[in-house]
Amino acid sequence: MPVKPITCWSESTASRLRRSFLERLPALPIRLVLPDEEAVIEAARLKSTRRLSYADSFAAALARQEKAVLVTGDPELGEMAPF
């Protein structure tokens, strides 16, 4: 019986799931937003004043810009709510 390490199986499974998600992405009710200069500056400001990751600072900046609710389980972002 062939043997495959769990890490290899896990990696190939993640790759298949990622491809599957990317194929379905255009049909999802999601609007992809590229950050403009204002959003980049706001994200930098948030990152410099809070313990946020780079990605989280962009998520928070976009939520503020769009006046949207940011739904997250991330404790650092949860502490910022409401905007």
Q: Does the pLDDT at position 62 exceed 70?
A: yes
What pLDDT is recorded for position 41? 94
Supply the pTM of this predicted model: 0.63
Residues 7-48: pLDDT tens digits? 666 777 777 778 887 788 788 887 878 888 999 999 999 999
Per DSSP, 63 falls in state H
- SS3 call for 15: helix
User: With contact defined as beta carbons under 8 Å apart, do 48 and 37 qualify?
Assistant: no
What is d(CA 60, CA 36) in angstroms, rounded to the nearest whole number? 14
C-beta neighbour count of 39 within 10 angstroms: 18
| DSSP alpha helix (H) spans, the chain | 6-24, 37-49, 54-66, 75-78
